[in-house]
Chain A
Amino acid sequence: AQSVTQLGSHVSVSEGALVLLRCNYSSSVPPYLFWYVQYPNQGLQLLLKYTSAATLVKGINGFEAEFKKSETSFHLTKPSAHMSDAAEYFCAVLSGNTPLVFGKGTRLSVIA
């Protein structure tokens, strides 16, 4: 069965510093992978998706993620954090005929 593990339920970075949010997945077939962002009391918004094309995927708001099959990872990065990036981030995996599975989320805090 597919699964997603997000390492670190809470990550803090300084404004202007690199953002790295980790996601590892488990899937028996080539997966589709997604990153979503959620601001307080709102729904989830798609940041980016991997669908077996380029392994480096660029998304909105300056975020990008790299699919590494050998490491079964899909980490999310942004070169320079902005205060507005403070939110909760979810990694999700879709493979086979099973529904989309979400990780438990990582809350990102940005310190001025």
Chain B
Amino acid sequence: SQTIHQWPATLVQPVGSPLSLECTVEGTSNPNLYWYRQAAGRGLQLLFYSVGIGQISSEVPQNLSASRPQDRQFILSSKKLLLSDSGFYLCAWSAGRVQPQHFGDGTRLSIL
């Protein structure tokens, strides 16, 4: 069966520090991969999605970036975190664009 791993579960970072969140999927090949940010009372905001290695689509301009160095690995990065980057970050995968998305357990990021 397919599984998705996301780490770390929680992270506290100072303003201006770099960020790297990692997500990996097991048990499937060539998945679509997604990064979301969830703020309280505002639902899920799609940040990036990828349909293949090296193919990244950005939905919201900001100081975050994403990379897909391997088929089942998706990384969310920032060179300098802002206070507004605080939130709950979720990684998800799907077998295709119209297939249901399956989510990891999320990373709660607090910026001090």
Query: Which A residues form the contact surface with B (CB < 8 A)?
Result: 9, 32, 34, 36, 41-46, 49, 51, 90, 94, 99-100, 102-105
Contacts and interface: CB of A to CB of B under 8 A. Distances in A.
B106 A42 contact: yes
B12 interface: no
Interface residues of B, number: 21
Interface stretch (B14-22, B37-45, B64-72, B76-84): B37-45
20 contacts: A32-B98, A36-B103, A41-B105, A41-B108, A42-B105, A43-B90, A43-B92, A43-B105, A43-B106, A44-B44, A44-B90, A46-B100, A51-B98, A90-B44, A94-B98, A99-B46, A100-B46, A100-B101, A104-B43, A105-B41
B43 A103 contact: yes
Contacts of A9: 41
Contacts of A103: 43
Contacts of B105: 41-43
Contacts of B43: 90, 102-105
B91 to A, nearest CB: 8
Interface of B: 6, 34, 41-44, 46, 49, 59, 90, 92, 97-98, 100-106, 108
A107 to B, nearest CB: 9
A101 to B, nearest CB: 8
Given A90-B43, A90-B44, 7 more contacts: A43-B92, A46-B100, A49-B100, A94-B98, A99-B34, A99-B59, A105-B43
